[in-house]
Structure 1
Amino acid sequence: MGEALSKAVEWCREQNFEFDAVNDNLPEIIEFYGHNSRKISCDYYIDDRMLLPENAKA
């Protein structure tokens, strides 16, 4: 985990926002598929480049 990601995860913890995993699959997902895919399975993605359509500039 790089420095920027570590700082972001720590900030989230300070806000009482905990992750089950960061940039990795959960052990039960790895066991289910028999390998750790590069594609991360999750319920929600949090991305610093997310852009809402109403905020997009043409």
Structure 2
Amino acid sequence: MGNWKRAIAIDFDGTLCENNYPDIGEPNWNVIYQAIQEQKHGAGLILWTCREGKLLYDAMEACFDWGIQFDAINESLPEWKEHFGTAPRKVVADEYWDDKAKVVKNGELIDNADA
């Protein structure tokens, strides 16, 4: 993908923090630390959440308090949108960090605990 940032879309509830929706759960410091390290190494971070309105604002504020500054919120990175000339509803990323994810390896669906 040339000189583009590697894009990481990160879920909020259950991933960056404990799932306590609609409230903000306790931060998951291991994930937060890893996200910050990835960004320091050039990755673009996307906050990827179903939260909207005030609930989204609260999540963004919590992330800021925890030291995470996102390059995009619920949308693809700007350079990706510019290159493709479109902004589909699905966030385009190299990685998706989500507590509900399943992993596909070699055509097989693997439980996320086994990945």
Q: Tell me which interval the TM-score lies in, with the shorter structure as reference length.
A: 0.5 to 0.7
Bigger proportion of residues as helix: 1
Task: Mark the runs of 5 or more structure 2 residues left unpaired by the alignment.
Answer: 1-51, 102-111
Task: Report how many aligned residue pairs link the two structures.
Answer: 52
Question: Are residues 20 and 34 of structure 1, via their aligned partners in 2, closer, same or farther at CA, if it must alter by over 3 Å?
Answer: same
Q: Percent identity, aligned pairs only? A: 37
Bigger proportion of residues as strand: 2
Higher RCO (C-alpha under 8 Å, 6+ residues apart) = 2
Q: Deviations over 1:1-58 (max 9, x none)?
A: 41111101101101111111110122211111111111102344455xx24866xxxx
- TM-score normalised to the size of structure 2? 0.38
1:40 corresponds in structure 2 to 91
Task: Mark the runs of 5 or more structure 1 residues left unpaired by the alignment.
Answer: none
- TM-score normalised to the size of structure 1? 0.67
Is 1:29–2:80 an aligned residue pair? yes
Query: Structure 1 segments of 4 or more deviating over 4 A?
Result: 51-54
> In 1, distance between residues paired with 2:96 and 2:56?
14
